Amino acid sequence: MAGMLELVFSLSILMSMAFSSTAQSCKSYAFSSNKIFRACNDLPVLNSYLHWNYDSSSNKLQIAYRHAGITSSKWVAWAINPTSTSMAGSQALVAYQQNDGTMRAYTSPISSYQTSMQEGELSFDVSDLSATLANNELILFATISLSNTSTTVNQVWQDGPLSGNAPQIHLTSGSNVQSMGTLNLLSGESSSTGGSAKTTKRNIHGVLNAVSWGILMPIGAFDSKVLEAYIVGVAGWATGLKLGSESAGIQYDAHRTIGIFLFCLATLQVFALLLRPKADHKYRFYWNIYHHVVGYSVIILSITNIFKGFDILNPDEKWKNAYIGVIVALALNAVWLEGYTWYVVVKRKSSEAAVKMPRATNGSNGASGVGAPSCIFMEVRVRSDSFTGLS
């Protein structure tokens, strides 16, 4: 078990590194408007860059926020949050191209996570606000009068879809929930509060659950590893609860609901092992029916929730393809075992029928009738107990 956990956490670190994004350098960029910015920062996600000039004597901040890989069907925003490193409370600068081709740039205070990016006044003054869109890159310009003397600001940047000329809610997974951090205006040092520790926790949560619920649980159906899968799965479930408590306003209702229901079913499945009747007990047949139904329900829900987790983490496609390959291999193995089990049942049934045949030929009334229930009972026993690790 210790070796398995070490493997899981190693995979978590590797996946965390694989999921992180790399940005191009902003230092070589030249603005077509001949504007010059003395400092710049490569933001870690969403193909974004921030250029700025800061005058400490007047507390004026002149910025150019660049968002590459964007189209006219999306809005972009850059914001300062005076009170925290989260989205709620941010004072945002928003820009997008309207249907008539003109650019719109405006200010929008963000009071909640369910915002519609409505225009409004910010807690600080903004001037020279404008935006351009060319070569799939939107640049937002502004001059901000900071309301405090701190040289470190909390920044948030974002993009999202448009419906006509109306901004819609952005994605709540992947890079869109990692685009926040702090920035020192004098030194240029920055940190990403959304894409470091929390991302690592999310990846650990994903790997724990993919290995336990998504791989070990299906294997347990054939190799009696249900308890091992359950123990690792509880750790993954616990990390999910912790992440939920640390991510107020960001909810994945379907993923969470399936996870809770899955944990309850798996708990019942494990405790049912303590109440398993003996093989010849009259209730063993009904216990097998219950145990198999719950067990296969757990497997189906596990795989479903793993794919919902992929949609949330938004990793490279190779990780999803690798998991699909594992599931396909397990499914083929299950089909082979099912076929082999039926082969054993039919072969034993034929052998017993051949043994009983002379008795029937000699006129022993009812002899053949004794053999049939015996074969049926053996078939049930083989189907229920011989290969399914869930029982």
3-class SS of residue 127? strand
Number of C-alpha atoms within 13 angstroms, CB side, residue 35? 16
Buried (b) or exposed (e) across 91-105, using 16+ Cβ within 10 A? Answer: bbbbbbbeeeeebeb
Which residues, 6+ apart, have CB-to-CB distance to 312 below 8 Å? 173, 174, 202, 252, 255
Question: Is 281 annotated as contributing to ligand binding?
Answer: no
Instruction: Locate the DSSP E strands across 136-257.
Output: 137-145, 152-163, 166-167, 180-184, 190-191
Which residues, 6+ apart, have CB-to-CB distance to 123 below 8 Å? 82, 91, 109, 147
125 phi, psi to nearest 5 deg: -80, 140
d(CA 80, CA 31): 23
Give the count of beta carbons closer than 10 Å to the beta carbon of residue 78: 24
Question: Is 255 annotated as contributing to ligand binding?
Answer: yes
Q: Label the pairing between strands 137-145 and 166-167.
A: unpaired
**What DSSP string runs through 16-60?**
HHHH------STT---TT----SEEEE-SSTTEEEEEEEETTTTE
Question: Is 292 annotated as contributing to ligand binding?
Answer: no
Instruction: Locate the DSSP E strands across 212-309.
Output: none
Q: Quick check: 104 and 140 in contact, CB under 8 A? A: no
d(CA 243, CA 208): 14
- Residue ranges for the known binding site for heme b are 205, 255, 291
- Residue ranges for the known binding site are 205, 255, 291
